[in-house]
Chain A
Amino acid sequence: MTTADTMQLAFTVSVQEADFDIAQLQRSLLAGAAAEGAIATFTGYVRRDNENRQVEGLELEHYPGMTEASISAIIEQAAKRWPLLGACVVHRVGKLVPGDQIVWVGIASAHREAAFSACECIMDFLKTQAPFWKKEQSSGNGHWVEPREIDSTRAARWHEDTAE
């Protein structure tokens, strides 16, 4: 292996209560990565309807320290698999209402295949490995959101692909 293969990837991870400006995040990602080619992004918003419940609000709890470390580890894994030029993950915590931005993943790469795949892979692992918990307010009651089977299935696909 040459040193070029193990070049450090510049990436940022932010867990914050404040809202974020997607255009600004994308400009920073582009500037930081000196990226020419492609940026793929994903933005998640708080749903208004979840499993037939009218969502009034969400409260997001996380494990400070482990959250940032686990997202960084997920990005590092993705960077071993695809030639990434830059990565940025922002995830909000605290009280949110339907329509609020909750998560943003931005991936810079020279070509779209790597950017799309890494963005999707990072999002799938974030959902199943990063220590966040959603408490949903509906009909005046709060209840903890249950993990969905589909999220584990989606994350597991990436392991299967690796085994090939």
Chain B
Amino acid sequence: MLKVLFFARVREQLGCASVDVAWPETGLDLDALQAQLCREHGDEWREVLAQENMVRAVNQVVVAENRILCDGDEVAFFPPVTGG
């Protein structure tokens, strides 16, 4: 099982804070996970997740490129940060 989290504007746009994704026996990488979420949830998700500046994190570390995922990973999608 993968846990997928959404924060801030992305969470609001999707109307969703998190989804659980069953781990496929064939494995999954980050781009494939994103494509699968878009297939399952439709065009609205496709548009939101494809936004420019979208930040993706795997196990709470930001990743700039695609990445092989492992069962149990935590994936997050969020906009650029604005704390401080």
Contacts and interface: CB of A to CB of B under 8 A. Distances in A.
Interface of A: 44, 60-63, 65-66, 69-70, 91, 102-103, 123, 126-135, 144-147, 151
Interface residues of B, number: 16
16 contacts: A60-B83, A63-B57, A63-B60, A63-B76, A65-B60, A66-B57, A66-B60, A66-B61, A91-B84, A103-B83, A131-B7, A131-B83, A133-B8, A133-B79, A144-B9, A145-B82
B23 interface: no
A132 B83 CA distance: 5
A134 B82 contact: yes
B5 A63 contact: yes
Contacts of A123: 84
B78 A63 contact: yes
A147 B9 CA distance: 13
Interface string B12-49: 00000000000000000000000000000000000000
A65 B59 CA distance: 10
Contacts of A135: 8
Interface string B54-84: 0001001110000000000000101111111
Interface of B: 5, 7-9, 57, 60-62, 76, 78-84
- Interface centre among B62, B81, B83, B84, by most chain A C-beta atoms within 10 angstroms, is B83
A75 B43 CA distance: 41
Given A61-B8, A144-B9, A132 B79 contact: no
B57 A133 contact: no
Given A65-B60, A66-B76, A91 B83 contact: yes
Closest 9 CB pairs between A and B? Answer: A132-B83, A133-B8, A66-B60, A127-B84, A147-B80, A145-B82, A144-B9, A134-B82, A130-B83
B17 to A, nearest CB: 10
A133 B84 contact: no
A146 B60 contact: no
